[in-house]
Structures are given as C-alpha cells and as structure tokens.
A = this chain, B = another copy of it.
Amino acid sequence: MPMSDLHGSVADPALTSMTLLNEIAGRFPDAVSFAAGRPYEGFYALDDLPRYLSAFAAHLEREHSLSPAQVRRTFFQYGRTKGVIHDLIARHLELDEGLEVDPESVVVTTGCQEAMVLVLRALHRDPRDLVLAATPSYVGFIGAARVAGMPVRGVAEGTDGIDLASLRRQIGAARAEGLRPRAVYVVPDFANPSGVSMPVPARRALLELAAREDVLLLEDNPYSMFRLDGERPPTLRSLDAEGRVVYLGSFAKSAFAGARVGYVVADQVVVGVDGRESLFADELAKLKSMVTLNTSTVAQAVIGGFLVENGCNVVTATTREAAVYRRNLRAVLEGLESRFGPSWPHHGAVRWNTPRGGMFVVVTLPFPADDATLEYSARRFGVLWTPMHHFYDGAGGLTQVRLSFSVLTPEEIFLGLDRLAKLVDDLR
C-alpha cells in the first residue's frame, strides 16, 4: 500500500526524527552518547520485581481488606479503568508535592505518553481547537498531538520558561483566526530539551494568564525531584486555586521506564447537556477504555509495590538516582567551563545554559548542528548528541545541541566533552 494512503502522522517529522536519530546512534555503538534521554540504570535489580508484587498484594489485603481471591482478581483480570494504584499516587503527591488530590481524579495511564494522548483527544472537539506549547518542545508531546489530531502552536521559551507575552499574543492571534486555544503545555522544572525552569513569580503569572484567557495548563513534571541544590519550587498545580491545571505524572524516571506507568490528575468538573456533573478524569477514562482498557495490572502492581515499600515518598526513594544526576550535571557544567570557558582562546564561541537540575544541558555551537553534523561527529570523533532543531516545530535551534548526561559516568562525560571540543576545533 502507498504510504500516502496512511494517516499523515506516520510521515510526520515529530514521529520520524527520533527513529532517524536512533538509526545514527545505532551505527556508532562505541561513541560516547549524550543523546539518550534514558534514566540511570545502575540501581535496577531483577529481584526487586517479585518483592514489589508481594508488597502490593500485601497492601491490597491490609489497606483495602481484599481477600486472596480478590487480590488475584486485581492482578489477573480486566481492571478498573482509572487504575488500582490511584490512592498510592494521591499519597505520593501529598508527601512529595504537597498536593491534595482526590484519588478519584487520578487516571493511571500506560506511561505519561498515553495521558497526553487522552487529554489532547478529549480537548479536540472540532477543527477549531488547538493547544500551545513552549518551544523547544518535548517530542513526545508533539507526537501525541499528531496522533490525537490536535494542532500545536509553538510559543517562544526564555530563561524563565514559556514567554508570557508571546503566549498572550499567540492566544489572541489564534482567536482572531476563529480558532479556540484550549490548553498550554509546559514542563516548569528542568524542561526537556532545554533544561529551563520557571521561577515562582513566572508560575503565578502563567496561572493568572491562563485564568484571564480561559485555557487549561498541562503541567508535565517528570524531573522536579532531580534538583542540584536549593528548595524545590511549588508545582503549578499546588499554586492553582481554580482548577486550571491538568497535572501529568510519570514513574519512568522515579521508578523505571519499562513499566510504562504514568498518570493524569484531572479534577476539573465537566457538565453534561443534562446538567449532570462528572470529573474530567472520568471523561478521560472513557477514552482510555477504548485505547488500552486499563493500564497493565502487573505493571501497576510493580509500581504500587515500589510506592508501598517507600511509604509513597518518591523523593527519598530516588535519593541515589538524584545523586547520580547531580554529580553528572556538575561534571557537564565543569567540563564545559574548563574546555570552552575563559581559558579557551575562542571563549564565547561556544555557549551553554546552566540548569539547576534535570537531565539536560543545551550547548550553542559556532556552526550548524544538524543531522549531517551529528553523523560526522559520531564517525570522526566518536561523540553523539541530539540536534536541537528536532525540538522546534519550524526553524530554530539550528546551532544548538542537547547534551543528556543521565546514563554516563563523569569519566565518560569528560571524554565525550574532549571529543566535542575536537569537533568544535574542526568545524569552527
């Protein structure tokens, strides 16, 4: 069959660019890779899995008074569409984020990816609907929008996160075209790919803007516990007095990615034509029942056991990982400084940002850093990185690269930066 007979998204750069980058990476297995956005895997142990399963079974018996037969049914049968670890997730959000969340407003999803698809599909009533997203944007969000058929308009990002003046202008422009901006997607803490965070005043201003413009905020929060130093700022959700925020959560970085367990907190009230009220979570659950029925009960049981074992305190559960990411972020920043800082004869030709946490640093090079340059970098110098232009829906980021450091050692980081310096010397 001709590709042109298939849904447009299969040929969309948002869905194909990561495949292309993986292809390049796959051809250079011995290169130092700043490309992979995977969590650190040094602490994984197969023995954890049966222990987590048992811990969750014990939790169901103890806290929910389930009989052994009911526990078996929870593990093996079709399950509750909104999930079976919603109470544990609510407890985690209370302990780690200071959020008061009704467990009924939680939908456990097949990774945060499914949560984004469900929210975008639900908000796509007709072709007038669109969402806005800080640019550069997480490719998973753009891809989810493509699959859901939801148009996305990019909004410039500054050093304080999404640019509010641009956002207001974009919303106004869309309305002037007869379109309907429904929501704004943001990662307020250590955004992927930029590493940028929003200061608290910017968060408050964004919430005010959302209220004034009557749009939802889709807050995605996978990285906030991986902070270099200082206090964790409040989430948008915790500053939100009037239900503007749909909160997207993930256990991919805190527990493990393979489980594919994420969630969405959606306590907005939906009013039917007959006046009956429901939670937005329940409407999302209707869609979920036709996408995946329910999130794998075994996967939920594993994540549930992880939560139970850690008293639902994910920040303390991820102390070791957080230390690795801190160590590596420091190594990247120090390594960049020693190679391209004031002691470098060409000081200023290479610039970078200084995120206070997360997994990513953005470096601006004195030459275009496109896919061809990546291939050259890998082949000639043995170092991989991600061209930032993939995270811009139009042109943008052409001389920028994302350095991801989550799975490396400091030694690998310094070796990789030495190689990057050679690339810079070669192409400068």
- Using a CB–CB distance below 8 Å, which chain A residues touch chain B? 1-11, 14-16, 18-19, 38-39, 41, 44-46, 49-50, 53, 57, 71-79, 110-111, 113-114, 117, 121-125, 140, 143-144, 146-147, 149, 252, 256-261, 268-273, 278, 280, 283, 286-287, 289-299, 302
Contact = CB atoms under 8 A, between A and B. Distances in A.
Most chain B CB atoms below 10 A, which of A5, A11, A273: A5
Contacts of A258: 74-79, 294, 296-298
Oligomer copy total? 2
Given A3-B273, A110-B296, A270-B2, A77 B257 contact: yes
Nearest to A278: B3
Given A110-B110, A147-B121, A297-B259, A290 B76 contact: no
Most chain B CB atoms below 10 A, which of A5, A260, A278: A260
Contact of A270 (B3, B140, B252, B272): B3
A10 B111 contact: no
A72 B46 contact: yes
A223 B234 CA distance: 51
B50 A283 contact: no
A-B pairs, top 8 by smallest CB distance, nearest first, are A258-B297, A143-B290, A50-B50, A296-B299, A260-B296, A76-B256, A44-B76, A110-B292
Contacts of A122: 6-7, 10
Given A146-B290, A290-B147, A125 B299 contact: no
B296 A113 contact: no
The secondary structure that dominates the A interface is helix
Contacts of A256: 76-77
Most chain B CB atoms below 10 A, which of A110, A146, A261, A294: A110
A41 B76 contact: yes
Nearest to A274: B3
A44 B77 CA distance: 9
Contact of A147 (B44, B50, B291): B291
Nearest to A18: B289
Nearest to A48: B76
Contact of A259 (B10, B140, B296): B296
A320 B296 CA distance: 24
A300 to B, nearest CB: 9
